[in-house]
Structure formats: structure tokens, C-alpha cells
Chains A and B, each alone.
Chain A
């Protein structure tokens, strides 16, 4: 018991870093950003699994130990309890006057007393001159149900992580997501899930609406409308996904997780030929969605990269320079610094899509673009034609979820039963007078009242 409490406390303490550092499974974008802002610290934090606190070895160790101690404690108690359920109450002790509650009254009829106690849901042991009665076994049953349900929850979580999958994908409004491994930015499979087991749905992002409070700039509501088909290329239906209202295909759920903007640009080479035309997702930096990103044009000669920021509602101050003062697009700007040279993409080494390694490049221009403005940087031109919203979909298959819910419901029921059940013992002993004594387990109040009722009832009977 003490070990379990210590471990429980440790678990609470160990969960703290999970709310201090961004977590990869909840907000991969913020984790990425942390790496960009503090690369040296981030590497160490990552080594200590502080971006995946809840699946880290040290966190797992604490709760596994907790459950081992729980099982070790609960199993023997369950066996004891099962035996006790079939057994009779204990023999009436010799000296009742030592009990927490004791009265001596005129002689009463033991048969009547027994009948009264049974009516009051006591289990009784009737000896020649005494009755030993006990009630409130449900307290222990509830307690054990609570602990056993926790074990069920743990098993359900285990099943989910072994047979489930979890992935993230950024999709622009207007684009279609095909549920196949290559469509994901990050995808993790449980140990026993095959990679071709993803349900073959398609999901076209039709519309995304974000509502903000005009006073505080805080988000009020997000609404994502999709056209979806399972399997892909079958007739589509229109569905709405909200923050706490995922779309479900069997045990696979599709959550709306984050959103941002993808500025759309057209890049032309010297001859005016279009080399790039489309949206590029940018990473939001703050609540007003000031976003940064990289637009890379590897198939121009020389290669061109635009280190960029997108400001949905552009504002300036002398200290911060350009920033966004509202998360909706009211007065957009695309700030680009133009680099030419080698983007490093042809080496085959994967690189971040949000950053440009400018070490082998030279800066040839700088411009703040308004919508439909074109900037000629000598090697070609860039036109800022508009923007799209993007959403980060988190697609989770958790086959253990139903059992986890069941376990949680049972655990709470067990807890309530054990909290509201009054476990007490009552003894009645016949001598020259009748002695009545009681004992409330765990000092639950109300015993005195109960004994008084009993005495009154039985004395009045006479």
C-alpha cells in the first residue's frame, strides 16, 4: 500500500514535464519548432524522452511498477474476499464492552433481533446466546472492482499500442488525403499492426472555418468540412469534423489537430515560364498565426529558395518588425528573402521543408509582398497570389479504446460503491442483561444512530 502511494505520487511528479515541454504526439509542430529554436537543448531533451513523456521508458517504468504492486496487492485480497463472502461473520467476542460502541439493555428476544438484523441486510451468525452480524461487504467488493478495472484499463492501453497506429498529416484546403503510409508526415504502427492495414479511405478537405474572438483573438470554434469515401473512389459523403468531434471509420478516428496557412505563389524563370505554382504550408509561430516557412525551387537554374514569413494581418513595430496582430487573414503579407545557389536537395539527404540551408547560397533580394504583387529578383519572379488554410489531421487507430472506457466506467463505479457502503459489525449477547455492541470499519459515522435504532426497535417490541 505504501509503495503504491509512493509510486502514485511519483507518477504525478513524472507527468509534470509533459505539460512543460511540447509533446510529439500532441503537437509535433511545436516540437519541430523547439528543435529549430534551441537545437542544443532539444537534443538533450529528446534523449531524455521529454518530448514523449508519456511513452518514455522512465514514465512507463513508474506505472508498470505501480500496476505490478497493484496486482500483487489486489489478487490476494480478491481471494480473501471471495472466501469471506461465503463465510459467516466472526464469532462474537468475549468482552463486548471494549467495543467502540456498547450499550446494555433489558433482555430482548434474540429471534426478533435476528429477524430485525436480517431485514436490515445484515449477514448473521446465530449462536446459542449471541448474534454476530456484519454488513457492507460491498465496500471491499467495490474497492477490488476499482483496482481490477485499473488493470483492465492498462491492458486496453497495451492492446491499443500493440495493435493500433497513429499518424499526422498536413492537408491543404482543396487537397485530397489518401490513407496510405506515404501520405503521412509521421506515422507510428503498433508492434503487431501491418502497414497495409490502414482503412483505404480518401478525404478531400472542402472547407475549414476558424472563428476567433475579435477582442481577445482567442479561437472560439473550428469547423472542418470534408468529402470522404471508404474505400477511395467510391461515392463520397460530406462530413464535418470539429475539435472534439472526430470522424470515425471503425476503430480509426480522424481528429482535427492544428491549423495554419499556406501562402500560394507562382514562381517564373527568366523566360517567364511557370516553374512553381501552388501552396506551401507554413508553421504558425504564435496565437495570431504569424507563420514562417520555406519555398524551395530546386528545378530552376540556379536553384532558388525563399526564406519567408506569412502575416495574416500585417502589423509593424520598431522592436519586433513585422508581425501579425490577428489570426484571420485581414491584411496579408508575404515577406521573402530570396536566395540563389545550391539548396542541397540533390544530395539525397532529407531536409526540413520549413527551412533552407543557406550555407551554399547567396542572398539576392528582399521583399514584403501584398496579394497579387509580383517581385522580380533578377533570376526570375515571384507572385504572391493568395493563401489557403491547412489542417493537421491526426489519424489514430486504437482498438483498445472501448475496453479502456469500460474499465474507466467500472473503476468509477467500484470507487463509488466502496465510498458509499458502510461496513459495520453488530453483536448482541444474551446474559443477565442484553449487551449490544458495534464496530464501524474505517470509522464511518452513523453507527451510533444505527445501534440506537436497533435498541429502540427491539425494546419497543416488548
Chain B
């Protein structure tokens, strides 16, 4: 399971404050903590006004790359911003994201042609987010075929089927799984990803819904997830599910995380 750490995002109030105050230490700490908790990629999202987004992203990228030895996941709704900050990445990571909205693919794909960069591709277009499976699959096809023109193979693409709120669409998870299955039938090596918090929008005990969503999605074959690895409950679910799915030899990752006090009841460390 590929973990994309989501904590460095300017839409989160504490991060927004740190960005405004140019608090490097705060950002650095978020990067280090996520890396220690097992993040494979560190997402950086400025979430600022468009005119300062580029400089903010570069500032965030520099801090994270200096703090940890993990590739970045460059996160912006604006493909031209991504294009501008792209040269500041020291090693191949993930672009977050393209979709069939506007000319996103046309800007990003040539940029990562001939590199090892991966890309998250959202199944939406100028009409918005589809509510049915077939349209999601159709949009996937278009994005994958465009990618092939630039030599970008399906294994470098993480399809995000954009999970709907369960409270509004009771078949939200089932649709996600149906999309995942259909997409993988078409392209066996393609990756499927998802955020974990949309599903529980408007419900009480959101975390519980998110955790169980993660379990079922992993079983269905989700390859990566954008989540907070420092969240004990989320990490517990992830590691327990990895073990249950036979991907944790002798269950040692689970046991090690427990011993290191990353999961389970919080132990007061005696110094």
C-alpha cells in the first residue's frame, strides 16, 4: 500500500497559519513525522491565493526536501503552477493531479514525458464529477490513451474515481469498487487511489466510516491512498488490513508499529 501523506496542505488552518508566518520549523516537523509514520510520498499543497501559490509551493518543497528523504506529491489545481514549480523537485514523485477538465493533461503529460514521474488522474471533466461508473471508466480511458501518446504507461497513473459522500449516495463505496474493477480490467497495471474523508461527509463518527472504507477499498485492490499517517486510528486500520491481506510477513510491521507506540493505546515513554 502506497501512502501519500496529506498533512502539508494550506487549506488546513494550522498549516495556513504556518505558511503565513513563514514558520519553517512547523512544516519541517510535519514532513518528518509523516515520513517516520511510513509515508511513501509527502503531498505539498499551498492552498493560498493564486498570485502567491507558486512561491509558497517552492518554499514548501524546499523545506520538505531538506527535511526528509521522500519524494514529493506536488498538489495544485492549476497545471501551470505545477509546471512552474516542477524544476524545483529534486527527484521523481507524483503530480497531483490531472483530469479531463480544461487542458490539464495537455500541460502535465509533456512535462513528465520520458521521466519516472507518476500522476494522479481524477475521473472528472468539464461537466464535473460523474455519478455513474461508466462515465468514470470512459474518462479514465481518455486520460490513459492521451498518456500513451507521451509514452506514459498505465503503471505510472493513479486513477482517483472521486468517491462521493455516502450520506448523499448510498452506493458510493460500491461504485468506487465497481469503477476500480472495471479500470483494472482495462489496464491491469494501472493504480487506483482515493482520499479517505469524502466518503463520510455529513456523517457522525466520520473517522470510523473512513477507516472501514479504507479496509474494504484495500481488499478491493486500491493501491495508494492520500491520508494522514500520523493518525493512529488510520494507521492501525492500514497496518491491520495489510496483515490480514497477507502482505505483512509474520505480521512484523504491525507488531513493530505497536512496539514503537505508533498504534494501540498511547504509552507514556519512560525516559
Q: Do A and B come from one complex?
A: no
